Amino acid sequence: MYALELAGEADAFAATEAGTAAATVEVVAPGVGVARGLDERRVRRLAYTRAASRLLGKTDASVASARELLETAVDDTRSGNGRAVDDCTPDNDRAEAGGTDRTVAVHARDVRSSAGVSTERAERALGGVLVDAGYTVDLDDPDRELRALFAGDRCLLGWLTVESVRDFGTRAPTDRPFFQPGSMAPLDARAYANLAGAGPDRTILDPMCGTGGLLVEAGLAGSRVLGVDAQWKMVRGSRENLTTYLNGGFRVVRGDGTRLPLPANAVDGVVFDAPYGRQSKVANHTLDDLVGGALREAARVAPRCVLIADRDWTETATAAGWRSRASFERRVHGSLVRHVFVLDRQRG
């Protein structure tokens, strides 16, 4: 079992993205989830999960209870009692009675200030337990790190297993070679790409690729990426951005998202940000025709689609051959709310 440190404020959305890298994800407290298994490589690519830790146990959100839980885990390790040996001892090597020569650090968080716990006091108390057990504390370069997550009325203790790569700030839309107002933040683009199935040995398509932000993040997650856009300006700009951030593995062409130049089942996932505004008209299509046609084509070429839009397209998606796996409303700023639809192709 693993403890997940979720990012952002929308836990259901973060947990759904985490489900692309972990099994049986459940939110158990504000900003904290648990999972029964995970793929460490995929966790590193997540946007709305900060870290995953091998879970030692759960207790109420008090320093005293957290200390007692850790003492019990250490005692179980010393005695070789139960599976706590595997959870507490590095690399599953059984520690000799009296401790281990591995170095450790303790990092405590009061997640979203929801527990009202002194993290400094918690770190001192938990560090003391580990020192008494024979561990050596090294705050600068420890071999292992104990995470104590105080959230709401719960505390989860675990050994840090993997952290996601938080480099999204290096790809701000305004810093790209080609920029257009309204470009999506890389953090969100990565999450949507992950929900569409991005990863090694996967091909992801954006049929309305614009400046290529979704494709950049899908490509950095390891995917081959394909982009289509009706405007030559966007095709050229997207290619420029992709060339900057990816080492090959992409193709961008001018075309109509409602008539894709691809055979059936050509890609693993589709992700696109539909034009906003009910009166929008793109490439001689009304917005309804454009989005409906793109969804029908997406169902022809892929089993999974993620649609980002400014309104509800559920009925259109169903008519186009999709069933909803999940949907979210995510406030961007002011009155702008993004509607996110995670869609699976209907069977039969």
pLDDT at 336: 82
For residues 5 and 50, the answer to whether their CB atoms sit within 8 Å is: yes
Residue 76: pLDDT over 70: no
Q: Is the same domain home to 159 and 173?
A: no
What's the average model confidence in pLDDT over 183-199?
97
Q: Is the same domain home to 88 and 213?
A: no
Q: Is the same domain home to 211 and 313?
A: yes
Last residue of a domain, one of 137, 163, 189: 163
Backbone φ, ψ for residue 295 (5° rounding) = -65, -40
Q: Is the same domain home to 48 and 116?
A: yes
pLDDT at 96: 36
Last residue of a domain, one of 98, 132, 163: 163
Q: Is the same domain home to 193 and 313?
A: yes
Smallest CA-to-CA distance from 274 within 204, 182, 175 is with: 182
Backbone φ, ψ for residue 212 (5° rounding) = 90, 15
Domain count, the chain: 2
3-state helix, strand, coil in the chain (%, to 5): 35, 30, 35
Any idea what DSSP says for residue 246? -
Q: Is the same domain home to 151 and 28?
A: yes
pLDDT at 83: 41
Residue 91: pLDDT over 60: no
Per the listing, tokens 């095709």 go with 235
pLDDT at 101: 54
pLDDT at 282: 59
Question: d(Cα 73, Cα 4) in Å, to the nearest integer?
Answer: 20
What's the average model confidence in pLDDT over 159-182?
95
Rounded to the nearest integer, the mean pLDDT of the chain is: 91
Any idea what DSSP says for residue 121? H
Band (14; pLDDT cuts 50, 70, 90):
very high
Q: Which range of residues forms the domain containing residue 138?
A: 2-163
Q: Is the same domain home to 174 and 78?
A: no
Q: Tens digits of per-residue pLDDT, 35-57? A: 999 999 999 999 999 999 999 99
Pairing, β 304-309 against β 269-273: parallel
Residue 85: pLDDT over 60: no
Q: Tens digits of per-residue pLDDT, 291-303? A: 999 999 999 999 9
pLDDT at 333: 78
Residue 211: pLDDT over 80: yes
Per the listing, tokens 């999204």 go with 168
Residue 327: pLDDT over 80: yes
Band (184; pLDDT cuts 50, 70, 90):
very high
Residue 166: pLDDT over 60: yes
Residue 84: pLDDT over 50: no
Write out the two tokens for 71.
């003492």
| Strand blocks (E) in the chain | 2-6, 22-23, 26-29, 32-35, 37-38, 49-60, 103-110, 136-137, 144-151, 154-163, 203-206, 224-229, 250-254, 269-273, 281-282, 285-286, 304-309, 322-333, 336-345
Residue 335: pLDDT over 90: no
